[in-house]
Amino acid sequence: MTDRLTAPLHLSTWLLCMPLFWACAVQAQGLRATGQLSLPRTATAAPAPAQATADYIVALVNSEPVTNNEVRQRLLRVEQQLAQRGGAMPARDVLAREVLEQIINERAQLQQATELGITVDEAAVTQAELAIAAQNQLSPEALRQRIAAEGMDINQLRNELRNQILLQRVRERQVDARVRVTDADVDDFIREQQGSNDLASLELNLAHVLVAVPEGASEQRVQELQARAQGAADRARAGTDFAALARELSDAPEGASGGQFGMRAANRLPTLFVDATRSLNVGAVAGPLRSPAGFHVLKVIEKRQAGLPDAVITQTRTRHILLRTTAQLSEADAVARLAGYRQQVASGQATFEALAREHSQDGSASQGGDLGWANPGQFVPEFEEAMNKLQPGEMSAPLVSRFGVHLIRVEERRQTQLSRREQRDMVRAMVREEKVEEALRIWAQDVRGRAFVEYREAPQP
| Residue 306: predicted pLDDT | 55
| Residue 400: predicted pLDDT | 83
Amino acid at 7: A
DSSP 33: -
| Residue 16: predicted pLDDT | 34
* Calpha distance 343→353 (Å, rounded): 14
Q: What is the mean pLDDT of each run of 10 residues along the chain (461 residues)?
A: 27 35 31 32 38 78 92 86 71 89 93 92 84 70 84 84 90 87 85 61 83 88 91 90 87 80 80 85 88 90 66 86 86 89 94 95 92 85 87 91 88 83 80 88 92 91 75
3 state SS of 437: helix
| Residue 454: predicted pLDDT | 93
CATH for 11-179, among 1.10.1040.10, 1.10.4030.10, 3.30.70.330, 3.30.460.80?
A: 1.10.4030.10
| Residue 395: predicted pLDDT | 94
| Residue 45: predicted pLDDT | 36
| Residue 197: predicted pLDDT | 52
Map out the domains of the chain as residue ranges. 11-179, 197-305, 312-417
Kindly give the residue spans of alpha helices, DSSP state H, lying in 175-218. 183-194
Asked if residue 305 lies in contact with residue 312, where contact means CB atoms within 8 angstroms, the answer is no
* Calpha distance 448→436 (Å, rounded): 18
| Residue 403: predicted pLDDT | 83
CATH for 312-417, among 3.10.50.40, 3.30.70.20, 3.90.1300.10, 3.40.50.1820?
A: 3.10.50.40
Would the CATH topology of 197-305 be identical to that of 312-417?
A: yes
| Residue 37: predicted pLDDT | 33
* Calpha distance 430→424 (Å, rounded): 10
User: Buried b / exposed e across 351-363, counting CB within 10 Å, b at 16+?
Assistant: ebbebbbebbbbe
What is the separation of C-alpha 449 from the centre of its chain, rounded to a whole number of angstroms? 29
197-305 belongs to which CATH class? Answer: alpha beta
Residue 288: cis peptide before it, omega within 30 degrees of 0: yes
3 state SS of 288: strand
| Residue 280: predicted pLDDT | 84
Q: Is the dihedral of CA 119, 30, 396, 135 positive or negative?
A: negative
